[in-house]
Amino acid sequence: MATLNLPVGNGRLESFSTSTPRDFPARANRPFNRIAYSAAHVVADPLSDADPWLEAAIDWDATIAYRAKLYDLGLGVAEAMDTAQRGMGLDWAASQTLIRRSLEAARHIPGARIACGAGTDHLEPSADLRLDDVIRAYEEQVEFVEEKGGRIILMASRALAACATSPDDYALVYDRILSQVREPVLIHWLGEMFDPALAGYWGHDDHMAAMDVCLDMLAANANQIDGIKISLLDKDKEIAMRRRLPADVAMYTGDDFNYAELIAGDEMGYSHALLGIFDAIAPAASAALDAFAGGDEARFHDILAPTVPLSRHIFRAPTRFYKTGVVFMAWLNGHQDHFVMVGGQQSARSLAHLAELFRLADAAGLLADPDLASNRMGALLATQGVTD
């Protein structure tokens, strides 16, 4: 196996040798007994002359090809979500192209499961906005996705968080949008650890009080809702909410810290999955879900247990920078030829952070080709002046 010197803190380097990767199948062997979406990243175009802070330049062929690999693994694609840097480098204009291309490609793949984010990110957040402005913004994006034949993930709105003055404002907006959708949607409650602009969502800073408001909205619109994804990184809050959901509304975990136990569930229920980490650990996620569907829960946990430290590292605070780790994993594993991101966010994490990510990915058996991964890690180290 390859050996290289990696930062370990305090300016020191330490020799590290990769291990033999785990042998995960490239295709799913059977249908899963949990629905699992991977919130998929986009591949930037490194040769574009666009200013990366101002314009999203995307390699569309590589982006769509990666989604085909996720489908092969039995995973669905949650399109144009925050993992794709939606509202954090990927604007609505680029998101429209992404959604259209992804939906077109999915039509040619039997059994492909895809849902697309609709939000208000083309509307600048401001306390001066009116609720009608937020409603119109949601309507525009929902209409676009539905016209293209897509299913809706109704994303949390920065604009609504900025202008809402009470929990009733949230109820009004969601009731209005949900009364118009063509088919049941997925609601996404994204916590402030992922996006600080969403603090106080549902009209309360306290998550449990906010949960009451959200549950009332879900109950009032249950016929128009398939499920809710909550991303609060707190398994106890997710379980508490899961146990209070209306009968036909499913929970989709967005907890990138505790996904294994939440998916496995307990005697009172379980969570499906809509996870950013399932982009980075897709082969392991697929193999684990395959084992679980076959009744082998021990193997399910054996596969996923070593991925949890990796995920917690990728999603460590400031959590909004987790996308850097997701794309870094894609580069290490040969899913793209470069470590360049929309918005230049490859610089959002330190070299020490990426070195630890490398070690944890190796421990999880997720460096599919250790020599390739080591060569790429070595190239990154060299660009940062680490040559010993």
pLDDT at res. 144: 98
Establish if 18 belongs to a structural domain: no
Tens of pLDDT, residue by residue over 36-75, are: 999 999 999 999 999 988 889 999 999 999 999 999 999 9
3-state secondary structure of 379: helix
Cβ contact 79:117 at 8 Å: yes
Task: Report the CATH number that the domain containing residue 60 is assigned in CATH.
Answer: 3.20.20.70
Establish if 17 belongs to a structural domain: no
Rounded alpha-carbon distances, angstroms, from residue 82 to 56, 88, 176, 246, 280: 14, 7, 24, 27, 14
pLDDT-derived band of residue 78, with 50, 70 and 90 as boundaries? Answer: very high
Please give the tally of structural domains in the chain. Answer: 1
pLDDT at residue 14 above 80?
Answer: yes
Establish if 114 belongs to a structural domain: yes
3-state secondary structure of 251: strand
Establish if 4 belongs to a structural domain: no
pLDDT at res. 32: 98
Range list of β-strands (E), 277-351: none
Establish if 76 belongs to a structural domain: yes
pLDDT at residue 187 above 80?
Answer: yes
pLDDT at residue 1 above 80?
Answer: no
Residue 245, token pair as written in the block:
């959901």
pLDDT at residue 179 above 80?
Answer: yes
Tens of pLDDT, residue by residue over 283-339, are: 999 999 999 999 999 999 999 999 999 999 999 999 999 999 999 999 999 999 999
pLDDT at residue 371 above 90?
Answer: yes
Tens of pLDDT, residue by residue over 121-167, are: 999 999 999 999 999 999 999 999 999 999 999 999 999 999 999 99
pLDDT at res. 387: 79
pLDDT at res. 10: 82
pLDDT at res. 141: 98
pLDDT at residue 388 above 90?
Answer: no
pLDDT at res. 162: 98
Q: Look at phi and psi of residue 51 and say left if phi exceeds 0, alpha if psi is from -120 to 50, else beta.
A: beta
Q: Is the pTM of this model over 0.85?
A: yes
Establish if 12 belongs to a structural domain: no
Tens of pLDDT, residue by residue over 302-313, are: 999 999 999 999
pLDDT-derived band of residue 278, with 50, 70 and 90 as boundaries? Answer: very high
State the chain's mean pLDDT as an integer.
Answer: 96
Establish if 316 belongs to a structural domain: yes
The burial class, CB within 10 Å (0-12 / 13-18 / 19+), for 166 is exposed
pLDDT at residue 93 above 80?
Answer: yes
- Structural domain that includes position 155: 24-370
pLDDT at res. 48: 95
pLDDT at res. 69: 97
Which residue matches tokens 């909550």?
230
Establish if 101 belongs to a structural domain: yes
pLDDT-derived band of residue 87, with 50, 70 and 90 as boundaries? Answer: confident
pLDDT at res. 11: 81
